[in-house]
Chains A and B, each alone.
Chain A
Amino acid sequence: MTPYVPGDSPVHRCPPGRKILALVAAGTLLFAWPRLDLALAALAAAALLSRLAGIPVRLMLAQLRPLAWILAVLVLVQLALDGWQAGLLVAARLAALVLLAGLVTLTTRSADLIEALQGGLSWLRPLGVNPAKVGLAIALTLRFIPVLAAIAAEVREAQRARGLERSLVALTVPVVVRMLKMSDDIAAAIDARSYDPDRDSR
């Protein structure tokens, strides 16, 4: 998950709900009109906006790293099937969307993002969806991904010391046990801090 980069640019100050809407609009546009010039314009917009937000180029490029392989394969397949323009279009479109999405998370505090999503989900309330709960679930996921990664690394280390790094059971059982214990603790901690899912604060 990309961390928030504090700042006071117009991109930072733009209300999170509007940023999400703009992102959705850009995505729809790019896929409704598969045109190279639009995709390139979106890429340029992403570059410009990140510049405006003061996000280092290095951080923006880091957004694309997990996608490097997918992009490469897509481009190759399209090249073989449809020629270089189609390949470029697919790659540029995907890269532009990922960069724009990255820009939203880099310039929005997760609490604000969650609050905006909650607002966006409120129309689901009659269907029994509690937006506050969904928001907390998202926040918890963001919070505990790094913790879980650390636990998994620790367990892998411990099992390697015992020569068990190839055993799936030896790796997963301790992780799952610790996760269960952890989820008990977290639930108690949330309770202790007066969380009430039924109170509608927003």
Chain B
Amino acid sequence: MIEIRQVGHAFGERVVLRDLTLDLTERRIAVVGGNGSGKSTFARLLNGLLVPTRGEVRVDGLDTRRDGKAVRRKVGFVFQNPDNQIVLPVVAEDLAFGLKNLGLPKDEIARRTDEALRRYDLHALRDHPAHLLSGGQKQLLAIAGVLAMAPEVIVFDEPTTLLDLRNKRRVAEAIDGLPQRAVVVSHDLAFLEHFDRVLVFEDGRVAIDDRPSVALPAYVAMMS
């Protein structure tokens, strides 16, 4: 469970999040809101990539401020731009990067790498240079790399924004199929319809917090 207590965040003078208190327990949580409303900042607080300037964020009781490393093992993160999160030159090597960082034994790394590549049909490409993959394949590789680390929750920051329609659908299906809990920032409202909970951000606050059938129409009305 992720507990957010009286959290505020500012970059210098600029206040981006104001006094949030939330418990995130649902299996699928969506985060929507206009540009600059604080969604990415919120997402980064959840695994300690950012530490809040006020209040605290706890994951299974661990404080992101003090136990950042342990928190990042529990909470994986998938970014918007697939290019910027693939860090090693070859597909299988990149997939293994996080696993090596966890200090797993070699055979366990090989086993998990294999399994994750197969899951997303990337196995035939395992020795390919990563930059030759399509955008959708790169995003699937990024998801596979995080999934292989077996976190309890995965946070996605606009995972389908840069993809074409077909790849949007593939990545959305991949996220739907994840065994883990997920927090997904997205502008793709259709994809969020069957989520368990929607948080609508406006100007650094959660303006609406409800089921999709209530929150999504209210968000659309708010934006028009």
Task: Answer whether A186 and B84 are a contact pair too, CB < 8 Å, given A191-B49, A192-B77.
Answer: yes
B101 near A: Cβ within 8 Å? Answer: yes
Q: If the complex has contacts A6-B127, A143-B86, are A188 and B69 also in contact, measured as CB distance less than 8 A?
A: no
Q: Distance (Å) between the CB of A69 and the closest chain B CB?
A: 26
Closest to B75 in A: A192
Residue of B nearest to A194 (CB): B101
Centre residue among A143, A192, A196 by max chain B CB count within 10 A: A192
Q: Is the CB of B84 within 8 A of A110?
A: no
B35-85 residues with Cβ-Cβ distance < 8 A to A are 44, 47, 49, 69, 72-73, 76-77, 79, 81, 83-85
Say whether, besides A146-B131, A188-B79, A192-B77, A110 and B149 are in contact (CB < 8 Å). no
List residues 47-62 of chain A with CB under 8 A from any CB of chain B. none
Q: Quick check: is A111 within 8 A (CB to CB) of the other chain?
A: yes
Are A147's CB and B100's CB within 8 A?
no
Please tell me if B222 contacts chain A, counting CB pairs below 8 Å: no
Indicate the size class of the contact surface on chain B.
35 or more
Chain A residues, CB < 8 A from B145: 193
- Assess the A189–B90 pair: CB atoms within 8 A: no
Q: A22: shortest Cβ distance to chain B, in Å? A: 23
Q: Does chain B have a CB within 8 A of A195?
A: yes
CB distance from A110 to the nearest CB of B (A): 5
Instruction: Tell me which of B47, B76, B81, B90 has the highest count of chain A C-beta atoms within 10 A of its own C-beta.
Output: B90
- Rounded to whole angstroms, the CA-CA distance of A146 and B130 in the bound complex is 10
- Shortest 4 CB-CB contacts between residues of A and residues of B: A189-B85, A185-B84, A193-B98, A192-B77
Q: Residues of B with Cβ closer than 8 Å to A?
A: 44, 47, 49, 69, 72-73, 76-77, 79, 81, 83-90, 93-94, 96-98, 100-103, 127-131, 145-146, 149
Known: A192-B72, A199-B101. 6 other contacts (CB 8 A): A4-B90, A110-B90, A110-B93, A139-B93, A147-B83, A185-B84
